[in-house]
Amino acid sequence: MNERTIAVPNFSEATAILAADPIANVYVAFSNPKAGFRCRLYRLAMKQELADRFVRSAWTFLDGLNSELAAGDLSFQPYDPSTEAAHDEVEWVRVEEIDILAGSVEALSSGAAIETLNTKGELPGKPIFSVVSLTAIDEKNCVNMFQPFTMAHELSHRGIVAALFDGAFNAIEEKIFLFEDKWSVLSIGDHAFVIARPGFERMFDLGKAVLSRKDAITKAIVDVVPLVDPAPFIAYCAARQRVLQKLEMISRRSYFKGIDISRIKAAITLGNLTIEVVEAEGKISLVCTKDNVKDIVDLLNDDILRSLGISDQNYRVRSKRQI
């Protein structure tokens, strides 16, 4: 996720589509590596009545977000996995930056080409997420509302599903899917809005994706930050998805590219951190141990901050936004 200079997106386009009497289609994405696909969408055949309920549900959801926005209780921030999002923040990301999301949004733009799910027999793979796609007939774009979808959402997969028929319970053999009326991600045009970050990261496999880039990510850091022995640093970071996400963001920040060891050394002193700095043959390096890796990562992410004078305390922060 690069630093962005474009205008902050908002929900106005989604509101316009929903106001234009859209049609709704629901898709479920399945993963089946054995069959050769990581993510494939299937359309659910639906009655118009159910489709209309999805439209109403989407309206209610978007209306809630718009109300919070109008009351100033919601703000937009670019997606940044190196910091925790606050409850009143909606993060956004460019669709093209997330492979599975980009592929899904492209497929959804020609929904007719997506195969209808055959509900007889086994499902085509492990369900990953469901999407409610809303399209107004004269609009080019569609609003796609994603929610994680697991086996737990296929109720008929969980044992015996029974319902009351004429005063007596009987088993239901048909497939029963549960769709919640809350969504984790909304995509509109080129942007996606992250309503619930855990669902977003799980659906689009961001954890696995960052782990696959661990060598490049750790290299980008140790190439800039001189460490006496980078092995403990690499071992610690490469095994942790959250830390890798943080390091990836650090490596993309403008301040990091020009950082020099004297600034790091000064920050260690200011922050009173237990990171040993050694000098050998005119080269200053940090001594990394398994006990101080976290401090080094937090330091590089500028997560150790100082009071402006109110308390004169140093703080380690989990979430911060630039003023």
Partner 1 sequence: MRLTKISRFILFLSSYTPLWAIFFLNGPGTPTGTVCGFLAFLGPTAIFFLVKQARQASPVILAVAKVRKKDSDTMGYIATYVIPFAATKLDDPVQLASLVIFFAALAIVYINSGLIHINPTLSLLGYRIYEVEDAEENAYPLITRHSIRKGDNVLAVDLADGIYFEKS
Interface with partner 1 (CB under 8 A) = 23-25, 43, 45-51, 110-113, 115-116, 118-119, 135, 137-138
Measured from the CB atom, the residue of 110 and 272 that comes closer to partner 1 is 110
Would you say 89 and 65 are in contact if contact means Cβ atoms under 8 Å apart? no
CA distance 184 to 108: 17
Q: Tell me which H or E stretch contains 54.
A: helix 48-70
Q: Tell the smallest beta-carbon distance from residue 104 to partner 1 (Å).
A: 15
Measured from the CB atom, the residue of 119 and 285 that comes closer to partner 1 is 119
CA distance 249 to 251: 5
**SS3 of 310, please?**
coil
SS3 letters for 127-187? Answer: EEEEEEEEECCCCCCEEEEEEECCHHHEHHHCCCCEEEECCEEEECCCCCECCCCCCCEEE
CA distance 181 to 34: 32
Q: Tell the smallest beta-carbon distance from residue 44 to partner 1 (Å).
A: 9
Q: Tell the smallest beta-carbon distance from residue 23 to partner 1 (Å).
A: 6
Measured from the CB atom, the residue of 8 and 113 that comes closer to partner 1 is 113
Instruction: Give 318's Cβ-side CA count (13 Å radius).
Output: 4
Measured from the CB atom, the residue of 112 and 163 that comes closer to partner 1 is 112
Q: Tell the smallest beta-carbon distance from residue 46 to partner 1 (Å).
A: 4
Q: What is the DSSP letter of 115?
A: P
Q: Tell the smallest beta-carbon distance from residue 177 to partner 1 (Å).
A: 15
Q: Tell the smallest beta-carbon distance from residue 251 to partner 1 (Å).
A: 36
Measured from the CB atom, the residue of 51 and 176 that comes closer to partner 1 is 51
Q: Per-residue b/e over 95-107, b at no fewer than 16 CB within 10 Å?
A: beebebbbbbbeb
Measured from the CB atom, the residue of 67 and 118 that comes closer to partner 1 is 118
Measured from the CB atom, the residue of 46 and 277 that comes closer to partner 1 is 46
Q: Tell the smallest beta-carbon distance from residue 43 to partner 1 (Å).
A: 7
